[in-house]
Structures are given as C-alpha cells and as structure tokens.
Structure 1
Amino acid sequence: MTVFNILRALKTVSRQSLHTNSIIICPVRSMSSNAKFADHKDITKIRNIGISAHIDSGKTTLTERILFYTGRIDSMHEVRGKDNVGATMDSMELERQRGITIQSAATYTLWKDHNINIIDNGSCVDFTVEVERALRVLDGAVLVLCAVGGVQSQSLTVNRQMKRYNVPCIAFINKLDRMGANPNRVLSQMRSKLRHNAAFIQLPIGLESDCKGIIDIVTQKAIYFDGDYGDQLRYEDIPADMKTEVKERRHELIEHLSNVDDVLGELYLEEKEITESDIKGAIRRTCLKRTFTPVMTGTALKNKGVQPLLDAILDYLPNPGEVENYAIKETAEDSEPEKVLLDPARSNDKPFVALAFKLEAGRFGQLTYMRCYQGQLSKGDTIFNARTQRKIRIARLVRMHSNQMEDVTEVYAGDIFALFGVDCASGDTFVTDLKHHLSLESIFVPEPVVSMAISPVNSKDRDNFSKAIARFTKEDPTFHFYFDSDNKETLVSGMGELHLEIYAQRMEREYNCPVLLGKPKVAFRETLVSSCEFDYLHRKQTGGQGQYARVIGVLEPLPAHKNTVLEFVDETVGTNVPRQFVPGVQRGFLTMAEKGLLAGQKLAGVKFRLLDGDHHIVDSSELAFFLAAQGALKEVFEKGSWQILEPIMTVEINAPDEFQGAVMTQLNKRHGIITGVEGTEGWFTLHAEVPLNEMFGYVGELRSSTQGKGEYTMEYSRYTPCLPEVQEQLILNYQKSHRSIQEKRSEKKKKLILNINSI
C-alpha cells in the first residue's frame, strides 16, 4: 500500500467516525520482513485448512486473495498468468499456462493473530491423490462451489474424501458476479447431492453485475467492500428490501442448527431469545462434529467476501488440539495393533510423531512435506523413519510459501513443515524414539486406471528419462512405471490421459527428454483347440559328429482354469530318450512357446506330453533334442487347430443413478457382460466383465457421458477365446508385419550382394 493510499484511508476513517456506520481497513501489506509469520503461536491460534473444489471453481484465486488481505503478498495476479506472473500458489510453468492446479502447494499466513496453514489442492480428477494427501493432514477445509455450476463432479469426489478423513468444512459459494449465478440452487444441491445439513450464514446483496456486498445473517449487518482491492470493509444496516428475506433465512438457520445441537435446540423449544453468541457457538459445535455446514457467499475475483471467510475459519473450524488423531502401536505378533490417541499439547515430555505426506524434488534435493502431530522438533535433532528404522539428523527445518522456503529453528504439534534430503516414501511416519513402536495410518491411494506405452524420442536421452521416471514415481504414488515382458515395451499407468500427458510434458521441460506416448499392446495368447499327436525326427549329418533326435508325444489343451500356464510332462519308459536329454526337449518346447506362428503371441494353456523317442549313441545330444522339440511344435502348428485368447477384466463402475442406462449401453458396445448392479443413496455400482482390448479410451468416454461423475476400477480376471473378427484382424496384422520384415531383409540382402559385386 502506498503512502498516498494510507493517508487517503486514514482520512476516510476520520470522516466515517462522525457517523454511526463503521469502516475497517485490512492490514498493510508491505512488510519489511517475514519474521512475524515465522513466530510460533499457541495451538489454539493455529488453523490447518485446505481449499478444495471442482476444477475452475476459483480455489487458487481465493487463496491469492487470502494471501493478499493477510499481508502475505504485495499484489494479486491472475491464475492463467495473463500478466506473465500467474498466481502465487501456481509456481509450475505448466500450471500457469493451463490455468489448473497440478501439484498441491502449501503456505502459511496470519489473520487476527492466528497462524493459518493453507494447502491449495488440485481439482482435476487425474490429480486426486493431491487432494487425498492434503486432506489426510488437515484439520478443516473450505469447500468452494461455483454459483453457476453448483455441485459438480469433483465436488462429489472431494466431499467423499472429506468424509473419509472426517474433515469439518465451511462452504463458500464463489463467482456471484458471473452471469446465471444462483446461490439458492447451489444450497439445494448441497442438501440433495452432498447430503449436507447446510444453511446460509451470509446472503449476497445483488447478483451478477449488481453484486455489491454480503449480509451476515448471524450479526445481521450488511458488509460492503470498498477501495480498489476491496480491502476497506464498511458495515451498515441491512437494506430495507432484504429485511424480510434475512429474517426468514435466520429462522431457517436456527431450525437447521436446533436439529443437531442440543444447547440451541433447548433455547429454540423454550422460545427464549437466541443471541449472536448462541448461534456462533452452535455453528462451531456442529461444524466440528460434521453435522452442519455453514454456507458463505462472495466473489473472490471481484474481492468480495474473503475477509468474512477468514473470520469464519477462525470462528468455526478446529485448531489442532480439537482434532483426535490416532497412531497405531505395534504389539506382539499374535495380537491386534492398538490405537493410541496422540497428545498435541506443546510439552517436551511427549515423543515427536510426524507424517510425511508429500515428496517433491527441490533445488537442494528431495523436499519432504510433513505434519507434526505430537511433540516438537528442533534443528540438529535426530529422528527415525518408523518403517525403515533409518536414522536422520535434521540439518535444516523450513516452512513453505508456495515454492519459497523460510527457515525455522523448531516446529511443534500442529505445524506443517518440510525437510531436505530425507530418503522416504509418501505416508512414512517419523519419530524421535523407536521404542514406542508408533506409526500413523498412511494415505489412501487409488489404483491407476489408464496405461500407455512410453519411450524417449532419442535413445541418447535414456539417462534423463530414467531420472525423470524415478523422481515422478516417488513423488506421485498413482503414477506407475513398469516393463511389460510380454510385449517388450515400457508402460506408465495413471489416473487419466491428462495425468500421463502432464508428466510427458514435464519430462520434456524439466529433463529435456521428449517422449512418445502410445496405446499399449494387449497380451494376447495362443492356445490349442484339440489334442494333436506329433512324431518328429531331427537328423543332420555334415561329416564328423552329426545331430540325431526323435520325439514322439501329444500336445493337448489344458482346462479353462489353467489356460494361462504351460506344462511339460515326461511319460517315457525305458532308455529311448535318455534322462540327460529330457531337459533339452523341455527347453525347446518353452523357447518355441515364446512366439506362436498364428499371430506372433505367446502360447498358453498347452500341455506337452513326451511319450517316446529315439536317440543315436554318437550323434544325439541335448541340442539335438532341443531342436527336435522345436520341430515337433512347428509340425503341430501346421496340422493342429489353434485359437487366440484375450484377457478379460473385472470392471466396477460407480456413477449417479441417472447415468445407468448410458453406462450399460457403453459396456454393451465394448462387448462387456454385466454381472450385477447395486444401488445406494442415488449412486449405482455396476459389475461387469469386459475384454481389456476394448477398455482403451474408456475413462474419457465414461467421464464425458456422466458429466465427470463416473469412476471405475478394473483388475485381471481370466483369459477367454476372443471373437472371430478380432482373431482374424490379429492374424492379418501379424502376416502384414511379418511380410514387411521379410521384404526389408531381402532388400538388405540385395544391397549387400550389389555392394560385393561392385567391389
């Protein structure tokens, strides 16, 4: 704030003091030092909150305003980085370009002598693990809802995550300035879709372009946000045309609170006067129990409603001392682990317990974000990883402000902080004493749903590719990397196509390693339809010791429950096939089974029965029998009847009831067989069996047909014969590729002959 603005504000205050109305100016933002932010507060003056919502509901814009009004930053910037700066909490270049939050970012600030630790979460369904690990360590949350979009798909997901970790929340209906804003519709959706016992504690004064301010139903005052940045709060009486609506909404608020709070319920039944402090006390008690959700309104972009939201965070959300957190204590091997209630009181006699909830590659090595649940930690102390029992000495303690670090000398219960150079995994527990055998419950990590083939464009970038993969798989537990030995290709798995695309772009930007993403191959198998006998003689004589081996037997299919394995049985009697040569026959069979002649896939569900054979006293060897077994298998390929098997996946889909017909139609088109449907609270769970080859691209189709609300998981079930048209296509593709390889070889051979002739 400039000197001119300060003087102008002071004149405004003196002028306003002559009237009954009052005006409040927010704290001056220009500060010479961040020292005041690093001061440790009493545990009752700490709030750990997360800002969560559906994508593009205004979370990061709201966080930017909070940091500005609390004096943490000097100026506000747009989320999409139109001014080439971008929002403070979107420190990654990709976030500023795309206008989405990819990684959750942590910061801390001060408001009315309270320390507020804030985590701005990602909202895209592909980065749901960012929300999971943030909510795991937070004590409260602000659920941001768009006044136009209302309760959207990711709002439902975030709500389920809050319920999983029992996190109390305040709802903030944002974007009242947008065309079509309707907070009443959003409130009804909260009650019907999210099952919240919710009521307004604020009402907007006008909507869309007429949004002038808000009315606080609890204090019954109108609040206007003056100044260029909405940092001058003016309190006035409720406008005459809104008094009736405010009275009705206040009565509705008291009714909703009376249903879940005994203290206010008694006052209401006895028809006693209900004061402002009575309502505030009831809101706090019920909010902590998650039996009531206060609903606030505003528009972060137009700088209205943010300061009252900060007041509500202090008034209604819990401090770390009011939340019960349990550690698991390992006991004797034959008994159940017991739960131990952690004590967040700031006393030195309690052992230090913290959870590592997020890993990030920083400028000075791995940065590990932690939440302290009990005890204290000072610079120079020694801690242990409860999982690996590895000892670590703390050389540096920092607290994060987006991508900036601020050093501190000690941290206490309730603090969120970061350490450098700690080799650990996300979800590890750290303690100062291993003898207590304490560990914290880890973070829920959903299984990946999309897999894609990945490879570096340039082979010289393989070192950078390996470094990037090692870092990203460690940071993000939903990002998996593995080598498929069946199809000889490397695969990455994640929560969606956007998820994998973002990591591909980060590899190019951060590691200078452009990569190719493609559809992975399905691991088909080839099997025999009916038993086929063979009698193959391998004989080769070129002077000196030759090769002689004869194998007689049967190749037969295994039953359906064993159609993924290969079996070899030696049923010979006598010495026609000497014992030392039988392993050669087995190796020949297994080697030949690596690639079938029908479509180039592995063999499966086949049993090789060696019944008899013949050998030569001089010319027979293990190699001869190895080649004889391969010849026998080629013989069976030519005269036997073969078919291709494909993997079938068990698929479980969750979506709202209104999309059940669309989901079933999709599965039928993908040759799926529905095995069962269940329904609870407006949602259905559908169980089906679908060929893996038909599941590529399904995640995008499901989300588009269910307005982003549908989710699915799948796992391998079994192999079954594929459809005739699929088999024909696979054989045709294999023959084409085989023909092209042979043509390339013949061309190379012709060129070589020409070169030799020219010499």
Structure 2
Amino acid sequence: MTLLNVLRSRRCTKVLNDFAVRTQYNAIRCYSQDNKFAIHAPLERIRNIGISAHIDSGKTTLTERILYYTGRISEMHEVKGKDNVGATMDSMELERQRGITIQSAATYTTWKNYNINIIDTPGHVDFTVEVERSLRVLDGAILVLCAVGGVQSQTLTVNRQMKRYNVPCLAFINKLDRMGSNPYRVLSQMRSKLNHNAAFVQLPIGLESDCEGIIDLINEQALYFEGNFGTTVRVDEIPKDMRAEASERRHELIEHVSNADEILGDMFLEEKTPTIDDLKGAIRRSCLKRKFTPVFVGTALKNKGVQPLLDGVVEYLPNPGEVENVALIEKEGQETEKIVLNPARNDENPFLGLAFKLEAGRFGQLTYMRCYQGMIKKGDNIFNARTGKKVRLSRLVRLHSNQMEDVNEVYAGDIFALFGVDCASGDTFVTNTKLNLTMESMFVPDPVVSMAIQPANTKDRDNFAKAIARFTKEDPTFHFEFDPDIKETLVSGMGELHLEIYAQRMEREYNCPVILGKPKVSFRETLMAPCTFDYLHKKQSGGSGQYARVTGIMEPLPPSQNTMLEFCDETVGTNVPKQFIPGVEKGFKKMAEKGLLSGHKLSGIKFRLQDGAHHIVDSSELAFNLAAQGVVKEVFENGGWQILEPIMAVEVTCPDEFQGAVMGQLNKRHGIITGSDGSEGWTTIYAEVPLNDMFGYAGELRSSTQGKGEFSMEYSRYSPCSMELQQKLVEEFQRSQGILPDEKEKKKRKN
C-alpha cells in the first residue's frame, strides 16, 4: 500500500498538505519501491538545469537545499565539511577540504511531478571547462549572484558561456542574510554589466539578520519559511509597510516583460490589467527567448527562498522539446548541412547522444552523455560517429553525485552515463551510422599556464604515466608534453590552482608525489657577424690516423630565419671528396645541439664549406665530422655571439577601466604594445612580450582586474635578449660546468 493510500485511509488530509510528506510522496511516485529503476516522465515534465556562478556565491549550498526539499537526501550538510561529511555534490575529498567545487557533478530529483536533472558546476576560473561542457548539454540554468559581491568576474564569464550556447536562465540573488547585502544594487549591475533585461519577481522582507521571508510579486503574497529547516512555506498577506514598494516593483516587472513579449506588450498599451496566468505566460515566453531574466531572492544557507525558486524552474525554464538542437550532416565534397533534431520521446527517430564528460569510475571509464534524439535500451548497440566503433550497452545509469541508479532505457532529454566506453570528450554516438550525423563540439579555451613536472620518486613513473593519461583524457584544458629543447616534461592548464589540484590528486589517488616548478625557456645562441674558419684536424697514433681540413665561413642568417640552421656545400674539385661532405654536416649539426655560450641550441647560422684538404689513407667521414666540431669551437673563440629569446604575441581582454593598469604591467615585463581596440566597455590590447617575462602573469592580471581580465599568447619570433639576461644565463651555465664557483664556494672562500 502506498503512502498516499495509508494517509487517505486514515483521513489525514492535514498531514497530506504538509510539505515534507508531499515531497516524500513525490519521491515515492518517481522511484518505485518494487523496482530499482527510475520511472520516466513525459518530455514536458523534464528540466535539465545547471547552477552556475562566481566562486563562493553559494551554488553547492543551493543544490544541497534543492535535494533536501525535493526529498532526494534525508539531511543537509555544510560545504566546508565541518561535520566530516560535506555537501552531497562535493564528493571528492579535496573539494570537502578546500570548500570549493573542482569538478561538475550531476544528479536528478523531482519537484511537483517534474523530473529535474541538475549539474552543479565549479565557480573558479581555473575550472571553467567544467562549466563550458555542462552548459553545452543543458536546456536552462540558474545564475546565482551574491547579494554582497554582486556581478563578479566569473559571473561575466558564465554569462558569456550562456550566451554562446543560447541557454535561458533565472537569476537567484543569494546570501540576503549577510552583512552588507543589497539585492537592488545587484539588479542594477545585472542590467548595466551583463546587459540583461531583468526585474524582480520577488522582494526580500528584511535584509541581513532581519531577513524574515520574501514577497511573491506575481501572486501578490508574502512567503515565510518555517519549521526546523524552512520546510513549511506559510503564505500570508504582504506587510503593510511594503505594499507600496511591492506595487511599484510589480508594475516595473510588467513593464520590463512587456518590452520583451508582444502579447503582454499589447495588453500594456491597451492598459489592460494582466492576470497571474497572463504574466506567468509572458515571463516564460520571454525567458525562453533570452529576452528577459526573472530575478528571485533568498538565502540558501538560512533555508529561505529555495522552494519558490524550484517553482520558477518548472514554470519558466524550457523542457527539452522547447530547445532547438542541431546536428551536422557531413558529406564528401559537399558543404556540411545542419538538421534540427526531433526530441519526441519515442523510438521512431534514430538515437543520437553526445559524450560531454569523462571520468574514471570504479568500473572503468564513466562517460556522461546527453540523449538528444530517439531512445536506447540496455543491451542495445550504438556506434561512435568519429571512430565507427560499436559499443554494447551492458549497463545504463543515472547519476546522483558519486552514486548511481540503474535504468532500463534512456529517452531524448535524459542525462545518463555509460561504463567502459572508449571515447573522447565531445564524441557523438548514434545507432545509424549511414546518416553521418554528428553534434557540434564544445568550445575549449587554450591553456594559459605551463609548469615543469616530474615524479618525486623515479619508481613512481608507472603511476605517474597512468595519472597523466587519465587526467589529459578527462580534462581537455589539461595538456602534457615533453619539450626536447629544454629536456623537460611540461603540463599546461588554466591556472596555477588548476595544476596544483592535479598534482595533489596524483599524490592522493595514485600515490605518486610530483614536483612542480617554473619551466625553462628555450633560448637560442647565434652569431652576430660572419666569421671565417680554416681548421685542420690531424691525429696520428700508429696505423691509419685521422686527417681532415675544412675552410669556409660561418655567418648569421636574416632575422626572419633565425630559428633555422643551414649547411651549404660550396666546394669545387676534389679537395674535399663528396663522400665526406655528410660527415662535415653531421659534425656541425651535432655541435648545434648544445652551444658553448649558455648551453642552448644554436640557430640562425649558415655553415658555408668552401674548401679543404684530405689524405688518401687517413681521411674518413669521422675525421671530417670531428673537424666540423672543431670549427664550431674555433668560431666560438673568435666570433661574436648573442642569445636569442622567444617573443610571444600576447592578446589581453579586460574592462575599459583597467586598460592603463594592464598596459603598465606589460611595459614592466619588457613588452611592446602593438595596438588596441575596444567595444561595449571591453578593451583588447595587443603586445609582444618575451616569454621569460610572462611567468606568473595570469595571477597578476586577475588580481589587477578583479578577475575580469583574460589573455592568450602564441609564439611570434626569436629576438636578441637584453645584455643583463645574457650575462646571467652565461654565468649560470659556467657555474654548472664548474668554470665559475657557485654561491657555496664563494661563501667558503670569504670565510
């Protein structure tokens, strides 16, 4: 007998109205006790939402409250994990220790018979790809703003990402209980900085410690959250001292929505009073088109305003059938066509899904997927559109943080996961490969920070390789490469925290401590002026000896070719037999691997072999190889040398008010400003800066622009470095070779 029948048999109508029992009833309806598989809701009763915001705005706390009020979890815990439990969605130990979200986590729950798939995303700019791939597959979002901080740096980034993927959103101004909270200032910032047509649909009753409840402007009533954890929502009249403000703000709401919705706009012009349903319908239509953003208020930590926000999610955000998703049809020799997918929940349309996130699970690789069209069942076969590989679906699961629940089938609009599928992030899966359907991939920003990495113990190299292979596959912004120029292994990411987190995960999850450090810069050595040479290599030690003589010129190449080495055979006649010419070239190239000035490679040099001499018995390719090596040493003694350094083309984007500070930073780093342009309050500065001076710039830029500045850089050219840097590099090399005493020896001599 279900809980509903028990209550009816006992005629406990009052208990039925209690919020906690209603949520439990909803949970029972969606998760059958007799069957461990979740029951599927119709398409119009599904919402796929993400919760995004600046770091520390209360995203995870809000998600925890949503799960509690919808009956998904039985008790709430703090984000910081002071009770040694931590928030449900922060399942990683590092997340609970640091109190931040590092990787996005998926869950699903129900509210008033609506299935809601939720993805909680990180707020820190270093983990921006987690937000990027979540918004790629979601239909709507909740933009959380701090009532004290307002629109902050990552809020701007998240807003750009929502715009990129055309994701409608609700705004939730959180932390009304904090000192200095001012939701009215936050609303004005949304309009000025984010360019949102936004208006309050709720007003707070009191702020800071006096926050008692909220006023629902649409239904014109006051809501108070009572009980131990705010589970009981008491509806009352609007307080007398706030009726004038509520009436004024409701009129402002109607005005803003009228500007975005034609139907309500006509009613407004005809001076008709819209009904509650008229207003809700207009808000929904304009919200789906991203022409209006309804603003909710509350405080998740103090359990106020979460239930009305859930009502807003089901009333105003789109279901999967209301979002136009496009697939690409690729045909040989023809332009790529676009086709609109059919999200109807049936098996008539061929299945199409997108793998948007990879994770190492307990049973192998866990692949998060979004189904856009058709349906699949457990035991079906699907194909990877990129590789053509067939995959048998042995198990389908829906995710609740780090827990899983099995499902028998998956329909369009569902977010689910597969086990043991070998694929990459962004791969498309289909049941019919003949259609050549693929989904557009997500935007992946380029890494901005590189660091040298190596395992602390050489015996951990196997674990190190496993960790690197896993993390580079899971995270497309985490890059790993070996640089042969500087003989170092480098990792690149979105920031120092990003790389630091991965270093800690290697130690915790793979028992492989690593050492992170500033990477070396790939300098070069080159000649400043042409230098002639006439070198004789002669060695006699009984038996056949070695004899080779080479003459010619070593000269610098033009600046446009200063990364190249050139060997030119200008000999005439048989003084240097042709079979020995490759030996001369090999000797020159071998010496170019490590210069004698600072130990870096030689480049921008042309070796012109003009003449020489050989011995009929003692000459060989080896002798001419050694002669060429001797030439480089001789030219090093006689010629003038300089060190070249890589120059990067840097592009910095920041708000107009920080333009002067950013230019000052680039000048301080020996950069040359090459140009700038701006639009809509943002400035883009173009500069050329030595790579050696760019280390640590990501943190400096963020701190000086309140986290709003972004930059990218790419290699431009090699250019002579300053005399001070050249002298420093030469001294370091000579100390490493034992030519100059190091600091310890200097101190000993002084003593």
Give me the TM-score of the superposition, normalised by structure 2: 0.95
For the 8 Å contact 2:554–2:608, the answer to whether it is kept is: yes
Matched with 2:663 is 664
Distance 1:570 1:740, change over 3 A: closer
Aligned to 1:676, the other structure's residue is in SS state strand
Q: Which residue of structure 1 aligns with residue 378 of structure 2?
A: 379
**Equivalent-residue separation in structure 2 for 1:89 and 1:266 (angstroms):** 45
Q: Distance in 2 between matches of 1:581 and 1:727?
A: 36
Cα shift at 1:25: 4.8
Instruction: Spell out, residue by residue over 1:614-650, the C-alpha distance to the aligned partner (whole angstroms, 9 max, x if none).
Output: 1111101110000000001110000001100000000
Structure 1 pair 23/180, CA: closer, same or farther in 2 (3 Å)? farther
Amino acid at match of 1:553: G
**Letter in structure 2 aligned against 1:244:** A
1:342-376, Cα deviation, whole Å (9 max, x unpaired): 00012212110000000000000000000000000
- Contact residue 23 and residue 235 of structure 1 kept, 8 A: no
Q: Which residue of structure 2 aligns with residue 644 of structure 1?
A: 643
Instruction: Please state whether the residue corresponding to 1:55 is helix, strand or coil.
Output: coil
Q: How far off is 1:14 after superposition?
A: 5.2
SS state at 2:500 partner: helix
- The Cα offsets for residues 112-171 of structure 1, whole Å up to 9 and x where unpaired, read as 001000000011000000000000000000000000000000000000000000000000
Tell whether the 8 Å contact from 2:551 to 2:610 is kept in structure 1 after alignment: yes
Cα offsets for 1:406-431 (capped at 9, x unmatched): 11110000000000010010000000
Counterpart secondary structure, 1:119: strand
After superposition, the C-alpha distances for 1:719-741 in whole angstroms (9 at most, x for unaligned) are: 00001111111111111111179
Asked whether the 8 Å contact 1:359–1:367 carries over to 2, the reply is: yes
> 2-side partners of 1:741 and 1:389: how far apart?
61
Partner Cα distance (2:32, 2:620) in 1: 82
Q: Which residue of the partner structure matches residue 110 of structure 1?
A: 110
| Contact 1:230/1:303 (<8 A) preserved | yes
Contact 2:653–2:684, Cα closer than 8 Å, also in 1: yes
Q: Is the 8 A contact 1:64 1:88 kept in 2?
A: yes
Alignment of 1:359-374 (within 5 A): 359-374=358-373
Q: Which residue is equivalent to 1:718? A: 717
Contact 1:23-1:233 at 8 Å conserved across structures: no
Residue 433 to residue 723, structure 1, CA distance change in 2 (3 Å): same
Cα distance in 1 for residues equivalent to 2:449 and 2:21:
48
Q: Which amino acid aligns with 1:51?
A: I
1:444 and 2:443 are equivalent in the alignment: yes
What is aligned with 1:685?
Answer: 684
Other-structure match for 2:746: none
1:461-476 equivalences under 5 Å are 461-476=460-475
1:196 match: 196
SS of alignment partner, residue 38 of structure 1: coil
- 2:21, 2:294 → 1: CA distance? 24
The residue correspondences of 1:332-351 to structure 2 (distance < 5 A) are 332-333=332-333, 335-351=334-350
Determine if contact 1:24/1:234 at 8 Å carries over to the other structure: no
Assess, with a 3 A threshold, how the Cα gap between structure 1 residues 677 and 34 changes in structure 2: closer, same or farther: same
CA-CA distance at 1:274 after TM superposition: 1.0
Distance in 2 separating the partners of 1:533 and 1:365: 64
Q: Quick check: 1:674 aligned with 2:673? A: yes
The Cα shift of 1:316 comes to 0.2
Counterpart Cα distance in 1 of 2:531 and 2:22? 88
Structure 2 contact 735–741 (Cα < 8 Å) conserved: no
Partner SS for 1:299: coil
Name the SS of the counterpart of 2:77 in structure 1. coil
Partner of 2:420: 421
Measured in 2, the distance between the counterparts of 1:85 and 1:422 equals 32
- Paired position in structure 2 for 1:215: 215
| Inter-partner Cα distance in structure 1 for 2:470 and 2:292 | 42
Structure-2 residue corresponding to 1:312: 312
For 1:750, the equivalent position in structure 2 comes to: none
Which residues in structure 2 correspond to 1:527-538 (within 5 Å)? 527-538=526-537
Paired-residue identity, %: 73
Q: Give the partner amino acid of 2:597.
A: L
- Contact residue 29 and residue 68 of structure 1 kept, 8 A: no
SS of 2:737's partner is: helix
Distance 1:11 1:52 in 2: 43
Q: Does the C-alpha gap of structure 1 residues 550 and 35 become closer, same or farther in structure 2, counting only changes over 3 Å?
A: farther
Which residue in 1 is equivalent to 2:477? 478
In structure 1, the partner of 2:569 is: 570
What count of residue pairs does the alignment treat as equivalent?
733
Q: Give the SS at the match of 1:274.
A: coil
Indicate the residue corresponding to 1:491 in structure 2.
490
Quote the offset at 1:332 in angstroms: 2.8
Q: Distance in 2 between matches of 1:742 and 1:202?
A: 73
* Aligned mates of 1:450, 1:179 — CA distance in 2: 36
In 2: Cα distance, 1:575 partner to 1:424 partner: 60
The answer to whether residue 294 in structure 2 is matched with residue 299 in structure 1 is no
Contact 1:176 1:208 in 2 (8 A): yes
What CA distance in whole angstroms lies between the structure 2 residues aligned with 1:640 and 1:737? 23
**Residues 122-521 of structure 1 mapped to structure 2, 5 A cutoff:** 122-333=122-333, 335-521=334-520
CA change 1:336–1:741 in 2 (3 A) is farther
Question: 2-side partners of 1:313 and 1:740: how far apart?
Answer: 72
| CA separation of 1:740 and 1:321: change in aligned 2, threshold 3 A | farther
Task: Work out whether residues 23 and 234 of structure 1, in 8 Å CA contact, stay in contact via their aligned partners in 2.
Answer: no
Structure 1 SS opposite 2:687: strand
The aligned runs of 1:572-587 (5 Å cut-off) are: 572-587=571-586
Q: Which moved more, 1:269-278 or 1:179-188?
A: 269-278
Q: CA shift at 1:460, angstroms?
A: 0.2
| Counterpart residue identity of residue 668, structure 1 | N
- Contact persistence 2:341–2:372 (CA under 8 A): yes
C-alpha deviations, 1:593-618, integer Å up to 9, x for none?
01111111100100011111111111
